[in-house]
Amino acid sequence: MTVHSSHIIPLRSGVLALGPMPLIMGILNVTPDSFSDGGEFTTLNLALSHTKKMLEEGADLIDIGGESTRPGANEVTTQHELDRVVPVIQHLVAEGIRVPLSIDTYKAVVADQAIQAGASIINDVHGLQREPEMADVAAFYGTPVVIMHWDRAREISLDLIGEMKRYFEKSIAIADKAGIERKKLILDPGFGFGKTHTENYELLQRMDELSTLGYPLLIGTSRKSMLGTLLDVPAKERVVATAATSVLAYEKGAHIFRVHDVKENRQALQVAVAARYGPPPEQGA
């Protein structure tokens, strides 16, 4: 039985306390072309409204992205991405949103400006390996970093988890060199990124093997094609399937769950926590 490791991650204001209680990271895509919600939250008021809805449903963090990473999506310019995300972050902060805001970007300049606008976490889908300056930005601001696995050059004949560990070790070495404290690193196994349909399910089954690296784990399976391919349903009909993967990943030691549908995943994880560690005392009678 996997035991959840405990971690205290310092933020610019407060801390992230990770352990047996899962945290929900609500997804706020301010893009016109994300695979399941593109174009839905591209104005400041829509972004604020959706953020408030996710917080009411139990989100602990909000992850803001201005460039789609779905298969086939076109890369956007740095300025275009800045124009999408910085005003949203500034607006959320001005409107009193106090939960930690994460910036989903692999561009160092975007991360820098987002942090100045109020973001307190960097979520890099390239694991600090696309732009060397990204690690320097994180070190300068003392910002925690989510390091995601996305290794397009991976040798597929070798063991999946072994290769993922090697990739993460390279990212961790980059962080070390830049001066990022190891207690500020979070690992994301990158479901759906550079992995076959079968490998995604192998990863879900073996995710506890990544816990041996000693870092907290974030997972992002929400509405992804690994579920659509299995069930033959469109993105917005993958809510129950996403909740199932959240519970399975929690059982394998995951700490943070990046999802579109906060309420459903929160409820599923509450049941998983009660089954593993017992219900809260007031509900145990």
Instruction: Choose the catalytic residue: 223, 238, 258, 266.
Output: 258
Q: In the sheet that 61-65 helps form, which strands lie side by side, from edge to edge?
A: 185-188, 145-148, 121-124, 101-104, 61-65, 23-29, 256-259, 218-219
User: Is residue 182 annotated as a catalytic residue, yes or no?
Assistant: no
- Which residues are CB-neighbours of 24 under 8 A, at least 6 positions away? 58, 59, 60, 61, 256, 257, 259, 262, 265, 266, 269
Alpha carbon distance 147, 55 (integer Å): 24
Alpha carbon distance 242, 261 (integer Å): 9
Instruction: Choose the catalytic residue: 84, 107, 195, 224.
Output: 224
Whether the Cβ atoms of residue 210 and residue 35 lie closer than 8 Å to each other: no
Alpha carbon distance 233, 210 (integer Å): 30
User: Is residue 98 annotated as a catalytic residue, yes or no?
Assistant: no
Helix (H, G, I), strand (E, B) or coil at 115: helix
Residue positions annotated with a catalytic role: 224, 258
